[in-house]
Structure 1
């Protein structure tokens, strides 16, 4: 239908002001091969939302429509502070749509393009929030399969201790759904090649550890400014994910803690069984490597004959201790 094609492929200026399923489009936020995301106004509740419109050909596939409905409901049921809430999912004029919370801010892709590699504490702080979102999704039986900087939204935090609030998005359209419907062909991969796990490439069954791999690729880019593998063409990149050893981050950014390389070697293992079981376990090892490095660089000093206690409060300095017997 001409109308459904217009909703997906129309120029932003043509769609501004149009109403789609109770939402008035205000502007385009982003565009990909299978979906366009708009800023829109919820006319029923008078609030701003992010409205994703899927390509019309997806709605014409019964298998995809059923899986889209099921997985959108599962994603909408996850109440987590670092997952973008889904308000509604449905179909209008032959086009599937998802209405989500509109997050004021940018995404990690733009942040890295603007700032380059992040300080280790910042990278770990952001990673911890993404990891908690991914693990929560895994507990609900969802595997994201496309963890990448563009799907990580970064909003302003609450205070100096929490300078950013991070959201994970793009759960309503899983890459498994696309592959099952025949929208992928031999030699074409649905996903983002810089962050794809070896088992996804080979077509093997995937679980949460697939996201551990993709997530580790993203964190690697946060620390070094680039994903683990860089090749001249897509086939070489797919080969590297499957067969080449991941380069240690310290090779690209000297000065990173010594233990970081081993953490990434495990998270980017070729077989899922050799990786961390959860994304938070990966972040915990990163954080521990940073602590160990700080302890090595700044060891505790102990005055002669007076050991520094490892636990509990320190004794007051000599000048603050009472002098016994000086006053009556």
Structure 2
């Protein structure tokens, strides 16, 4: 069992250079309490992948293993430009694993930690791409439940009109699944509490509108430099999500128009029925408040068309432009 211990004890793993289910592990690129992610080489197809190995105790739970397999297959079936493609999800030698496309950029957590609040145009571009991915998942009956900066990957875009390409990851490993394993208990959540919807805390049924709440918390942080609720301990933070009104973003970002406060007040409503019906509807309202509508000087992308459909009645004054968020290692290209 030394291999299991090395995966999750915080010590350097002994898996570097070893083969796991047809993948040769090259280096560790991320870890959490329930999984470690490696860059690995697919020996069958000769390509680089991101290989996520789950905590061994999760594989021992039959209910989790079945749900994990089902939700991973659903995620793999979604063909969307802003969802990280899942190549394979299976079990080997008592370990559950997911092989995904390797994204060479950074994640939004590292970008925010390094750069602080983003320009409005950049925040709106990122929000639109994540919202499109979430709504696509909801159309397939899959609710993410763990929208946070660490699950949003930011790669180099295609041109100056699309300077970032954003991917949403970590489908198939939801808090609902984990709660069935004993891995979580009542009042305890895996990962950060900064983005969790009130209905998740209270154990009520969730749908896509809990992702609207989580996305709103993330987008608030991209603009403010911190999540909407900041408290000294976890219980106080749980209470704030359920009962406290979110602070006005314009108290931190005085350069933003007051209309953004109304948008966030709706997206962060305590009851799902009071929120925007979809993630793209939230982003359409936010982009109208921030920028006056979606950009129109380049051929519209699918994300642009979806936002326009959610906001077709709003006027579209000329957009403002901002520098790209993503820079490759070593500085601007």
Q: TM bucket by the smaller chain? A: 0.7 to 0.9
How many residue pairs end up in the alignment?
Answer: 295
Q: Does structure 2 retain, via aligned residues, the 8 Å contact 1:193–1:237?
A: yes
Aligned to 1:142: 142
Aligned to 1:322: none
Structure 1 Cα separation of the partners of residues 190 and 233 of structure 2: 16
Secondary structure of 1:79's counterpart equals coil
**Rg larger in 1 or in 2?**
1
Aligned to 1:242: 242
Q: Does structure 2 retain, via aligned residues, the 8 Å contact 1:146–1:214?
A: yes
Per-residue CA distance 1:209-268 (angstroms, 9 max, x = gap): 000000000000000000000001111000000000011100111010121000000000
Structure 1 Cα separation of the partners of residues 94 and 7 of structure 2: 10
Aligned to 2:186: 186
Structure 1 vs Structure 2 CA RMSD: 1.7
Secondary structure of 1:183's counterpart equals coil
When residues 288 and 12 of structure 1 are mapped into structure 2, their CA distance, relative to the original with a 3 A threshold, is same
| Unmatched 5+ stretches in structure 2 | 294-314, 317-333
Aligned to 1:168: 168
TM-score by length of 1: 0.87
1:134 Cα deviation from its structure 2 partner: 0.4
Secondary structure of 2:167's counterpart equals strand
Aligned to 1:278: 278
When residues 142 and 202 of structure 1 are mapped into structure 2, their CA distance, relative to the original with a 3 A threshold, is same
1:182 Cα deviation from its structure 2 partner: 2.1
Aligned to 2:321: none
Structure 2 Cα separation of the partners of residues 202 and 3 of structure 1: 37
TM-score by length of 2: 0.85
Q: Does structure 2 retain, via aligned residues, the 8 Å contact 1:5–1:56?
A: no
Q: Structure 2 matches for 1:50-65, cutoff 5 A?
A: 50-65=50-65
Per-residue CA distance 1:8-32 (angstroms, 9 max, x = gap): 5584462211000000000001010
When residues 251 and 14 of structure 1 are mapped into structure 2, their CA distance, relative to the original with a 3 A threshold, is same
Aligned to 1:228: 228
Structure 2 Cα separation of the partners of residues 117 and 219 of structure 1: 10
1:192 Cα deviation from its structure 2 partner: 2.2
Structure 2 Cα separation of the partners of residues 114 and 67 of structure 1: 36
| Unmatched 5+ stretches in structure 1 | 294-309, 312-328
Q: Structure 2 matches for 1:38-187, cutoff 5 A?
A: 38-187=38-187
